Amino acid sequence: MVVAQTAAGRKSPPCSKQSGKEFGHARLTCKVVTVRTRLKPSVWSQLVDLVYPPRCEICGTDGLDPFCDECLRNVYTIEHPYCRRCSVPFPPGQEDRWLCYECQHAQSPLVAGRCVGLHAGALREALARLKFHGSRRLVPALAELLYDRVLREVDEPDGLPLGDITALVPAVLHPRRRRWRGFDQSLELTKALGELWRIPVLKALERAHDTKPQVGLSPEERRHNMAGAFRMRPGVEVDGLVVAVVDDVWTTGSTLGACARALQRGKAARVYGLTVTRTPPPWHEAAAHKHSVDGA
Ligand SMILES: [Zn+2]
Ligand SMILES: [Zn+2]
């Protein structure tokens, strides 16, 4: 496979700038190629395939895994125009707009954040399967999509300086919820992303207290619920570092904001946010499929 060198000196897939040009349902042919190429089957996995034939982890179709092409076509990627800070998409025709109303009027501890796509369609289904059905096979593929999103921004002339990020920090679950689930999806995603990106994963944060599920809470209730929810882990240093907090879903940004505030108290230089999905705005067709699992 031919690879291109990015501005940050890292390897970029040749299709990363061409994928997802359509608004709404994006065609992700290049991403399919990228994901499948990176996830080369080992001899062992080929043997396993003979016993357990591969199938799409989302719809169950036999054949390629973890996503079939049809499910990848059902991803709502976030394309211009969108808020350059929180990534919420704007309606078509607002190409010159830079920030959404909330980002214009609220102080965020995050410099900015980016997401693969909207919390709808195949990505919503994939996260639900990961979190509520334990489909950890989806982690490498979701991390791959997130890494491709980062590379695309690095390649953009006026994109975020995501290449400055030198460490990733998971928005960890409370131990009680991790025990209930059996794993921590944010930590798993962060570790997989760190391997692709080849930058360290710092378990810099811990939950100061358990929080109630965010589902059904208003934006103000979410912020109140997450206030002070994270603190720095003793012995972990982020002083002067440019870091990105990694989580699965971005709804109001209250979880990422709470992480960023704790990292700021640890004297991190800049904090970005990276998530797989973002809740669609009410005007978007994907909002009809809205089903928030933020903080769950
Ligand atoms: Zn499928
Ligand atoms: Zn915004």
Q: Which two tokens stand for residue 56?
A: 């799409």
Residue 172 has pLDDT above 60, yes or no: yes
Q: What is the pLDDT of residue 23?
A: 34
How far does residue 96's CA lie from ligand 1's centre (Å)?
36
Q: What is the pLDDT of residue 31?
A: 47
Confidence category of residue 32, pLDDT binned at 50, 70, 90: very low
Q: What is the pLDDT of residue 110?
A: 95
> How does pLDDT run across 103-160, given as a tens digit for each residue?
999 889 999 999 999 999 999 999 999 999 988 989 999 999 999 999 998 878 888 9
Q: Which ligand is nearest to the CA of 57?
A: 1
Spatial contact of 170 and 190, defined as CB atoms under 8 Å apart: yes
Q: Which ligand is nearest to the CA of 68?
A: 1
**234 to 56, 264, 289: CA distances (angstroms):** 41, 15, 41
Cis status of the peptide bond prior to 14, with omega within 30 of 0: no
Q: Which two tokens stand for residue 124?
A: 């919503």
Rounded CA-CA distance 198/163 in Å is: 12
How far does residue 144's CA lie from ligand 1's centre (Å)?
17
Mean pLDDT of the chain: 82
Instruction: Pick the more confident residue, 35 or 227.
Output: 227
Torsion on CA atoms 100, 275, 291, 16, rounded to nearest 10: 90
Q: Which ligand is nearest to the CA of 60?
A: 1
Q: What is the pLDDT of residue 44?
A: 64
What letter does residue 89 receive in the DSSP assignment? B
How far does residue 56's CA lie from ligand 1's centre (Å)?
5
> How does pLDDT run across 79-104, given as a tens digit for each residue?
999 999 999 999 999 999 999 999 99
Q: Hey, is 289 helix, strand or coil? A: helix
How far does residue 122's CA lie from ligand 1's centre (Å)?
8
Q: What is the pLDDT of residue 38?
A: 55
Rounded CA-CA distance 250/243 in Å is: 17
Spatial contact of 92 and 64, defined as CB atoms under 8 Å apart: no
Q: What is the pLDDT of residue 43?
A: 67
How far does residue 183's CA lie from ligand 2's centre (Å)?
31
> How does pLDDT run across 227-249, given as a tens digit for each residue?
788 999 999 999 999 999 999 99
- The alpha helices in 3-89, defined as continuous H runs, are 29-38, 43-51, 69-73
Q: Which residues pair with 51 in a beta bridge?
A: none
How far does residue 68's CA lie from ligand 1's centre (Å)?
4
> How does pLDDT run across 209-218, given as a tens digit for each residue?
777 777 777 7
**48 to 12, 53, 61, 136, 186: CA distances (angstroms):** 30, 8, 17, 17, 27
Residue 12 has pLDDT above 60, yes or no: no
Percent of the residues in the chain that have a pLDDT greater than 70, as a whole number? 78
Rounded CA-CA distance 108/102 in Å is: 10
Provide the sign of the torsion angle of the four alpha carbons 133, 202, 250, 228, taken in this order: positive
How far does residue 108's CA lie from ligand 2's centre (Å)?
10
Angle, CA of 249, 250 and 251, to the nearest 5°: 110
Confidence category of residue 40, pLDDT binned at 50, 70, 90: low
Instruction: Pick the more confident residue, 141 or 36.
Output: 141
